[in-house]
Amino acid sequence: MATGKILRLLILAVSVHFPAHFAAAATVYDVRSFGANRDGKSDSTEAFLSAWAATCAAPGRATIYIPPGKYLLGSVNFTGHGCRSKSITIRMDGTLVAPANYNVIGNNGHWIFFNSVAGVSLYGGTLDGQGKKLWTCKKSGKTCPEGTTSLVFYESSNIRIRGLTSLNSQMFHILIDGCRNVSLVDTKIAAPGSSPNTDGIHVRRSTNVTIVHSNIGTGDDCISIGPGSTHLWIENLSCGPGHGVSKIYSISFNDIIIHLMTSLSV
């Protein structure tokens, strides 16, 4: 599919509905109160995991707040198993920064991993995967880690992502895997056109996924669609640089409607 276009793509589309987020007061957990440091140099991994544990244990609506600043994180696994709260909001005004040494997380498969969560909403903020040094290593022919995906939602449901920016992921920027009812709105993804295997959003084994009003520029597919994906709606996507919207492996599409709108220079 041509790049540098505004795309409107419907694949077996259905409406996705989410409840109003501020119908009731939520308990707010500021990551700084758990020891997170916003200098971008001190490791805040344990502080973020502690903030998640407290939020997960809350009996009602709960919010994790990430204030302005830079927060250095290693690989984190936010699991929904045993969560009391069924409505968790993560509001980010800051930037999460991956370790500069790509070996720290380069073989872990994921950087920020949400496993079996439900009713999670992520608003704003920036993820900086710091992938440039790993790309250089790969181009040199040296032995390098495979690289990691910046943000993964796995076996999760009723997920809302709005206003998120993802920069320079080592590999894929966002992976939606085995999920249902996922909405990505106003997402910005950026990596150089020369960056290897940095797909913007990869969707597989998922249903009812909506991607709208997003701007994606990478060295690989802007959006890639894997096996087992159904009821996918992509609308008003600005893509470039990148390889457009691609399907991989053996999958078939039915009832596809594509409208190519205003052309953008890339």
Instruction: Phi first, then psi: give them for residue 249, nearest 5 degrees.
Output: 65, -155
**Cα angle at 118 between 117 and 119, to 5 degrees?**
130
Is 220 in the active site? yes
Q: Are 78 and 116 in contact (CB under 8 A)?
A: no
Catalytic residue among 110, 173, 202, 243: 243
Starting from the edge strand earliest in sequence, which strands make up the sheet with 223-225, in order? 76-79, 110-115, 149-154, 174-177, 201-204, 223-225, 245-247
173, 220, 221, 231: the catalytic one is 220
- Give me the amino acid identity at 33: S
What distance in Å separates the CA atoms of residue 230 and residue 205, rounded to the nearest whole number?
8
Does residue 152 sit in helix, strand or coil?
strand
47's tokens? 């502080």
- Residue 186 a catalytic site member: no
Closest C-alpha among 10, 11, 5 to residue 229 = 11
State the catalytic residues. 220, 243
